[in-house]
Amino acid sequence: MSKIVIDAREYTTSTGRYIFKLIENLQKIDNGHGYVLLLKPKDLDVCKLTNPGFSKVACSYKEFTFFGEQIGLMQQVRGLKPDLVHFGKDNQPVLYGGKTVTMMHDLTTARFRNPAKHRLIFRAKQLVYRLAVKRVARKSAAILTGSEFVKNDLVNFTHVSPAKIAVTYEAADPITDKPAPLLELENKQFIMYVGRPMPHKNLERLVGAFKLLRAQRPDLILVLAGKKDVNYRRIEAAVQKAGIKNVLFTDFVAEGQLRWLYENCSAYVFPSLSEGFGLPGLEAMAHGAAVVSSNATCLPEIYGDAAHYFDPLDVQAMADAINEVLSNKELRQSLIEKGRAQVAKYSWRHMAEQTLAVYEKALNE
């Protein structure tokens, strides 16, 4: 029986949903290998094991740290003597020489800066990150991506063979919590976005498009849902300075509140410049939201004909696309119906089955 170690340090984070669902489904389908899950101490009790072939080990080493991740994590992994290690992201000990499978979600960090960070320091870290990504891609026995777009992007960026990369599409699950209304939005028309406010999410242009829309729809509300961090506060200050009304920054929303937003919005707008899969838009479709999306990177691949697209660099085109969905009941209803069908094409279990096949191939090479 082979021993497979999975780096699950991001198990309970929003970006860790991939690794959470992978572990959940691997436990259902694999009784032929032994698994060791590396979890942060706070997540040891959160992670429920249902398969006797799975065990948990505490791992206190933080992501993107030199002494922690590059040295401490490497020593811990070596001590476990694994036959294979699955890293759920590209940040990992670059000098670890054992057999690895790496999930590379996208190259966004290599291309976009974070205005909340010091420009020169971030730039230096970004250059190191780019080198690390190339090193990780070359040393990995196999690479996983969430879309064909990212696969091709990685081939061009790292020059690894396409045969080394397997596309394992993710999926969207409906929220099971009871819908919890936001009182300030009841009986009002609103469009929404949920997620982080990083520069590649393109929220400034979304606000600009909303400003144009309000000239025709003065009662329309734009809801920007997500925990208020430095970048969200920066956008909120710019909106206030420009005097743009009806923009609601919700801060953190609970699952029930998010479900209510999806189910009651007139449109879910995804203006992103760069995505590796685009899970929020697919999640919105699962709850019956009409999705108006950027046509950038992987999004047309993932959403198919279930979204109404626009050029994310063209504010007027974005406003026009949103207005078309709000004005055309037949178009909106068609998007809702196509969205539900599109969501059904994806399965976390299938993703886990594909990943297991990659493990077995890597182990046998």
- 102: phi then psi, degrees, rounded to nearest 5: -125, 130
Neighbouring C-beta atoms of residue 53, cutoff 10 Å: 16
Q: Residues 93-120: what's their mean pLDDT? A: 88
pLDDT digits (tens, 9 = 90+) for 109-126: 888 877 777 778 778 888
Q: For 183-343, CATH number? A: 3.40.50.2000
Sorting pLDDT into bands at 50, 70 and 90, what band is 241? very high
pTM: 0.94
Q: Residues 60-69: what's their mean pLDDT? A: 89
Q: For 3-171+347-364, CATH number? A: 3.40.50.2000
**What percentage of the chain has pLDDT greater than the value 70?**
100
Q: What is the dihedral of CA 64, 5, 161, 136, to 10 degrees?
A: 20
> HEC string of 63-83?
CCCHHHHHHHHHHHHHHHCCC
Q: Residues 171-190: what's their mean pLDDT? A: 96
Structure-block tokens of residue 6? 């999975």
- In angstroms, the CA 169 to CA 348 distance is 8
Give residue 13's pLDDT: 86
> Per-domain residue ranges for the chain?
3-171+347-364, 183-343
Same CATH topology for 3-171+347-364 and 183-343? yes
Closest by Cα among 147, 91, 98, 137 to 274: 147
